[in-house]
Copies of this chain bind each other. A is one copy, B any other.
C-alpha cells in the first residue's frame, strides 16, 4: 500500500476523541489531531469532511443495522413495532461499550456544534427509517410520524442509559421508554 504507517483514519479518530476530552473541542486544532496521528492536517480532511465528523463515523453503520432490522421485521408488525425492532438493533450496536459511548457523549454534550451534528445524524436516521416503513406499505404521513417518534424515544432512552447510575441494558431502557410513551399518549 502506502509508504506510511497504515490505519491513519483509526489513529485520527482516537487522537481526536482523546484531545477533545483533554482540552475540549474548540481548543483542539485539526493540526494537533493530525500531529498526534502522525499525518498532516490535509490528510485529516481527506478522511473526514470536517472537524466534527471524526466523532460520527459509526453512524452510518448504526443506520444500516437498524434498517436491516426494520426490514427483517414480520410483515404483520405495526409501524411502531417495526420501529421498535430497529431500535433494538441500534441498542445492540451501541450497547456493547457504554464507556466509549459515555466519553463520546461527554464531548458532544459539551459543544453546541457537535450537538448540531449529532442531531442531523439522527434526522438522517429518521428519514431512513421512514423510507423503510414506506417500503413496508405504510403511508407517508404515518411513516414519517412513526420514524420521528422512534427517534424521540431513542434520544430520551439514550440519555437515560448513558447517565444512569447503575449499569442497565440499553435495550431495556428503550422498551421502558416506549412503554412510557404509550401511557403518555393514551391518557386523555
Show the binding face of A for B, using Cβ within 8 Å.
78-80, 112, 115-117, 119-120, 123, 141-142, 144-146, 148-149, 151-153, 155-156, 159-160, 177, 180-182, 184-188
Contact B116 A80 (CB under 8 A): no
Q: Which 6 A-B pairs have the closest CB atoms?
A: A116-B116, A148-B152, A119-B119, A185-B185, A152-B152, A116-B120
Residues of B within 8 A of A159 (CB): 144
In the complex, A115→B185 CA distance in Å?
28
Give the CA-CA distance A145 to B186 in the complex, in Å: 14
- The answer to whether A184 touches B149 (Cβ under 8 A) is yes
Task: Please determine whether B160 and A156 come into contact, CB atoms closer than 8 angstroms.
Answer: no
A155: chain B residues at CB < 8 Å are: 148
Partner of A186 from B116, B151, B153, B186 at Cβ < 8 Å = B186
